[in-house]
Structure 1
Amino acid sequence: MTDDADSRRSPTRRDALKFGGALLGGGLLAGCAGSGDSATPTSQSTGDGSDGATTPTDAADGQSTTTEGYTVSMSPVGDVRFDAVPEEVFTVYPQYLDMAVALGHGERVNSVYVPEMSGTTMNHYYHHLDGVSLDWEGLHDPLTDGFSKESLYERGSDVHLADPAWVSTQEGWSTDDVAEVASTLAPWVGNFYSGTHDAPPEGYADYRYYTLWELFGKVAEVFQERARYEALAQVHADLVSHVQSNLPPREERPTAVRATLSSDGSKFWTYHLNEPGYWLADTRPLGANDAFGDEEWNGLWGTVDYEVMLEADPDVFLHLWGLTPSYSMADTRSKLEDNAAGSQLTAVKEGRVYPAGMRYQGPIMNLFQIEMGAKQLYPDVFGAWPTYEDGDHYPEIPEDERLFDRQRVADIVTGDY
Structure 2
Amino acid sequence: MSGAPAEIPTRREYLKGSGALIGGGLLAGCTSDSSGTNSNGTTGQSTTGTTADAGPYSVTMAPMGEVEFDSVPETVFSIFPQYADMAVALGHGDAINSIYVPEMSGKTMNTYYERLDGVSFDWKGLPDPLKNGLSKEMFYQLDSDVHFVDPAYVSTQKNWSKSDVEDIRNNVGSWFGNFYSGTHDKPPEGYRDGYQYYDLWEMFGTVAEVFQEQERYQALKKIHDNALAKIEDSLPPKSERPTAVRVTYSNGKFYTYHLNKPGYWLADTRPLGTTDAFAEEDWGSLWGTVDFETMLEADPDVILHLWGLSPGYYLDEIQTKIENHSAGQQLSAIQNDRFFAAGMRYQGPIMNLFQLEMTAKQLYPEQFGEWPGYVTGKPFPEIPKDEQLFDRQKLSDVIAGNF
TM-score, L = length of structure 1: 0.83
SS of residue matched to 2:321 = helix
**Residue in 1 that maps onto 2:17:** none
**Residue in 2 that maps onto 1:94:** 81
SS of residue matched to 1:227 = helix
**Residue in 2 that maps onto 1:21:** none
Note the alpha carbon deviations across 1:115-166, whole angstroms, 9 max, x for none. 0000000000000100101111021110111101111000000000000000
Residues in 2 aligned to 1:287 and 1:187: alpha-carbon distance in whole angstroms: 38
Residues in 1 aligned to 2:276 and 2:205: alpha-carbon distance in whole angstroms: 29
Any unmatched runs of 5+ in structure 1? 8-65
Residues in 2 aligned to 1:223 and 1:304: alpha-carbon distance in whole angstroms: 43
- 1:166 is the counterpart of 2:153: yes
Structure 1 stretch 393-402 or stretch 101-110: which is displaced more? 393-402
CA contact (8 A) 2:307 2:314 kept: no
**Residue in 1 that maps onto 2:62:** 75
Aligned residues: 355
CA contact (8 A) 2:113 2:120 kept: yes
- 1:336 is the counterpart of 2:322: yes
Q: Of 260, 269, 272, which residue of structure 1 is paired with 2:255?
A: 269
SS of residue matched to 1:141 = coil
SS of residue matched to 1:112 = coil
Structure 1 residue ranges (4+ consecutive) displaced by more than 2 angstroms after TM superposition: 3-7
Q: Percent same amino acid at aligned positions?
A: 60
Q: Of 192, 197, 218, which residue of structure 2 is paired with 1:230?
A: 218
1:169-318 to structure 2, matched below 5 A, reads 169-204=156-191, 205-262=193-250, 264=251, 266-318=252-304
What letter is aligned with 2:103?
E
1:103-122 to structure 2, matched below 5 A, reads 103-122=90-109
1:298 Cα offset (Å): 2.1
Residues in 2 aligned to 1:99 and 1:331: alpha-carbon distance in whole angstroms: 30
Residues in 1 aligned to 2:322 and 2:402: alpha-carbon distance in whole angstroms: 46
**Residue in 1 that maps onto 2:373:** 387
Q: Of 380, 389, 396, which residue of structure 2 is paired with 1:403?
A: 389
Residues in 2 aligned to 1:183 and 1:147: alpha-carbon distance in whole angstroms: 18
SS of residue matched to 2:229 = helix
Q: Of 86, 105, 125, which residue of structure 2 is paired with 1:138?
A: 125
SS of residue matched to 1:98 = helix
1:400 Cα offset (Å): 1.5
1:326 Cα offset (Å): 2.2
CA contact (8 A) 2:255 2:288 kept: yes
Note the alpha carbon deviations across 1:79-127, whole angstroms, 9 max, x for none. 1111100111000000000000000000011000000000000000000
Residues in 1 aligned to 2:54 and 2:214: alpha-carbon distance in whole angstroms: 17
TM-score, L = length of structure 2: 0.86
Residues in 1 aligned to 2:54 and 2:114: alpha-carbon distance in whole angstroms: 38
Note the alpha carbon deviations across 1:239-293, whole angstroms, 9 max, x for none. 011101110000100000000110x3x1100100000000000000000100011
Instruction: Report the aligned-residue RMSD.
Output: 1.5
SS of residue matched to 1:397 = coil
Query: Per the alignment, do residues 6 and 337 of structure 1 end up closer, same or farther by CA in structure 2, a change over 3 Å counting?
Result: closer
